Amino acid sequence: MTTHRILHLSDPHMTGSGFDEDGVDAAGSLDRILRDARFVPDIDVVLVTGDIADDGSAEGCAAVLQRVGAFARERGVPHVYTTGNHDAREPFATVFGSAHRGADGADLGESGPDRSAVSEVGGLRIITLDSLVPGSVHGVVSEEQLAWLGRLLSRPAPAGSVVALHHPPIAIGTSPSMADVNLRNGGRLAEVLAGSDVRAVLCGHYHAQVSGFVSGIPVWVTPGVVTRIDLTAPSHLVRGVLGAGATVVDLGGPYSPMFHLLQARDPRAGEQVYLVDSRSGTDAPAEE
């Protein structure tokens, strides 16, 4: 069976200055995880599932494209991006085009509705969906995109398909914040995916590693690059801490799909950046 390896990143939250709105060195976080991923062998494609620019700017998008593009170019592999709730469609499209780029930077994707697109890597079909709802934290995939997705999936790809989007169609039941900010029409997505050749659904947004299933298809949420959410906090608190992460996704092997985490070597990993009470949306006292 044909095998593929995806380096899955999400939520770099870049700006033109290199720092996100919380004052985190977003550029340093992305540089750190890419540096520490340099010895991962046999990568076929790099995927970044949204919240590219913390401020939605073209400058933030360009800074991510420059860094991820250089990493991909050195390895001779394509790189693919999706929108997230922090992104803005016009700057995203200006910088990324279809957001499916070849190792040389060429635009390889076939664009669909909104900022969705599709391309193939060695027979593996990679479909990116646009779940951005401007001004909102939660996500929705439009009915137009779902119809387009259904038409694509009506014809199997040689090595199957992967669907990538920012907002997960799953949530941890004991996490009120996840249930409030996830993909609102995940049931409709599951209906379209049922019985298809989709081998995995890859997402970001939660800044935490989470797995589940929709229509029998594995869903994987990769941890954030700029920060991660510490799920040891009480369920009503959202604690953001330093520590860039990424996932290696292996498809086609004996245990496919397999997901394993990478964590950047950061001497400040685990240091608290923010603590928010999800019941009020306000900062919580640090001692909680």
Residue 282: its pLDDT value, please?
80
> Residue 280: what pLDDT?
81
Residue 217, C-beta contacts closer than 8 angstroms, at least 6 positions apart: 193, 196, 198, 199, 200, 201
**228-229 sheet: strands from edge to edge:** 228-229, 237-241, 272-277, 282-283
Tokens of 127: 């479909």
Whole-angstrom Cα distance, residue 215 to residue 272?
A: 37
pTM assigned to the model? 0.97
Res 156: pLDDT: 98
Give me the residues paired with residue 46 across strands.
Answer: 7, 79
Domains of the chain: 4-283 (3.60.21.10)
Residue-level pLDDT at 279: 82
Q: Which residue has 């299933």 as its token pair? A: 213
Element housing 8 (H / E): strand 4-9
- Which residue from 82, 9, 3, 93 is spatially nearest to 46, judged by alpha carbons? 9
- Residues 6 or more apart whose CB falls under 8 angstroms from that of 116 comprise 127, 128, 129, 130, 145, 148, 149
Q: Could you tell me the two tokens for 32?
A: 């750190």
Which residue stretches of the chain have pLDDT < 70?
1, 285-288
Residue with tokens 């400058």: 59
At residue 2, the pLDDT reads 87
Torsion of CA 92, 96, 97, 103, to 10 degrees: -170
Amino acid type, 70: A
Cis previous bond, 156, omega within 30: no
pLDDT at 88: 98
Backbone angles phi, psi at 71, to 5 degrees: -60, -45
Give the single-character DSSP code of 286: T
Report whether 225 contacts 242 (CB < 8 A).
no
Contact between 220 and 10 (Cβ < 8 Å): no
How much is the pLDDT for 30?
98
